[in-house]
Structure 1
Amino acid sequence: MSILKRIIFIVLVSFLFVQCSKENKYLIEKGKVGYLTKETTVLELSSIFKKDSIVSKLQLNELNNEDKLFSLDDDEYEIFSLEGDKLLEIAPTNQNDSLSKIKSIQIFDRNYKTEKGISLQSTFKDINEHYLVNNIETTLTSATLFIDELNATISIDKKELGISIFSREEVTIDQIPDIAKIKYFTIWFN
């Protein structure tokens, strides 16, 4: 009977380990997105996302225009699932440097969530209930919320706010409806 208990214990521990590993793959924290941290280099992306597809925007630009001697284009990396869904867009701190650390990660996959459950599916009400909005900046097309606790910016389209799209009208926290949806979710590693 004790052997059966040991086997059950081992199976349960293994199951919990696999489950926690899956959850960490999509966890967003300050200085961390899934398996990516402040210390991750561009060179390590291929091993972290070995089951996914990585596309370098710089490489695509070089393929389209071979006579460019120098490129000022952004060196960004898009991560796609095997099904073709865009997961992340990663910007390095230094351009054209495989040992560069990561500057920012824009989230495109709804599976990525904070410990408090904030994801691309969240509304402004969800954000406001769980995190302090430290600042709001207005652009021509959106309002950008700064969340210092996550070192994140969350953009909400002006269409969601009922404001003319190309206005410079300042947005206050009181003007944002609870049902406003997230347009962009970016984690900064600086």
Structure 2
Amino acid sequence: MKKINAFLGLLLVVLTITSCSRENKTIIERNRVGLVCSQDLIGEIETIFANDSIVKNLSEGALGGGDTKYVQDNDEYLVYSKQGKHLMTIVPNEQHDSTSTIKYVQIVDPQFITEKGLSLSSPFKDINVNYMINKVETSLSSATLYIDELNATIALDKKEIGVNPFSTQEIKIEQIPDMAKIKYLTIWFD
């Protein structure tokens, strides 16, 4: 009996250490956005957000009937507050699998914020001052900043930078205006 109690106690300690803290509902950290962390399974999303609404956009295979008008690569779980405000979009590593872990979370609501004050409403200056930008990648319509410290990507619209949207010009950190606004903020889970 003592061995069983000791084992259960040890198991409880391990689960407490490895589980995701649900204390700060709006924090952004590496492998965590609000209530969601890297250990969570996609099947737990509805429980985690029991007080909110979830809209599931499942990838092509789940639509049935071979509808070729709608093609989507990833399952998406859109989280809305009870007031109807889109908070985040969660994408799993494996499609159609409730035991899959989370691939990434795209933050949609500016209430989510890092310890250093970065949120969706932050200008580029806040990113540049508080985080090392490890890489800048240019696409047709945006510049994507890679922040290894958060395992995040931040997209800035080329219009905010003052560059023609379809230009193939490479964008350097120095040419991004301090007040350029964030288009997308994505946290990738390990």
TM range (shorter): 0.7 to 0.9
- String of CA shifts for 1:111-145, please: whole Å, max 9, x gaps: 00001010011001000110000000000000000
Paired AA for residue 179 in structure 1 = M
Gaps of 5+ in 2: 1-21
Alpha carbons 2:141, 2:165 under 8 Å: kept: yes
Structure 2 CA distance for aligned equivalents of residues 85 and 40 of structure 1: 23
Structure 1 CA distance for aligned equivalents of residues 51 and 89 of structure 2: 16
Aligned-residue CA RMSD in angstroms? 2.1
Query: 5 Å matches for 1:40-79?
Result: 40-58=40-58, 66-68=64-66, 73-79=73-79
| Counterpart check, 1:109 vs 2:80 | no
Query: 5 Å matches for 1:90-105?
Result: 90-105=90-105
Structure 2 CA distance for aligned equivalents of residues 122 and 149 of structure 1: 17
Counterpart for residue 170 of structure 1: 170
Q: Flag the 1:114–1:56 CA change in 2: closer, same or farther, 3 A.
A: same
SS at 1:25 equivalent: coil
Structure 2 CA distance for aligned equivalents of residues 172 and 44 of structure 1: 40
Q: Flag the 1:59–1:158 CA change in 2: closer, same or farther, 3 A.
A: closer
Structure 2 CA distance for aligned equivalents of residues 139 and 55 of structure 1: 29
Q: Flag the 1:74–1:141 CA change in 2: closer, same or farther, 3 A.
A: same
User: How many residues are aligned here?
Assistant: 167
- String of CA shifts for 1:64-113, please: whole Å, max 9, x gaps: x6412998642111001111111000110001000000000000011000
Counterpart for residue 151 of structure 1: 151
Structure 1 CA distance for aligned equivalents of residues 164 and 138 of structure 2: 12
Gaps of 5+ in 1: 1-19
Note the C-alpha offset of 1:60.
9.8
SS at 2:159 equivalent: helix
SS at 1:174 equivalent: helix
Structure 2 CA distance for aligned equivalents of residues 147 and 141 of structure 1: 20
SS at 2:103 equivalent: strand
Paired AA for residue 133 in structure 1 = I
Q: Flag the 1:61–1:119 CA change in 2: closer, same or farther, 3 A.
A: farther
Paired AA for residue 42 in structure 1 = I
* TM-score with structure 1 setting the length: 0.82
Paired AA for residue 81 in structure 1 = S
Counterpart for residue 189 of structure 2: 189
Identity percentage of aligned residues:
50
Structure 2 CA distance for aligned equivalents of residues 66 and 94 of structure 1: 18
Structure 1 CA distance for aligned equivalents of residues 53 and 60 of structure 2: 14
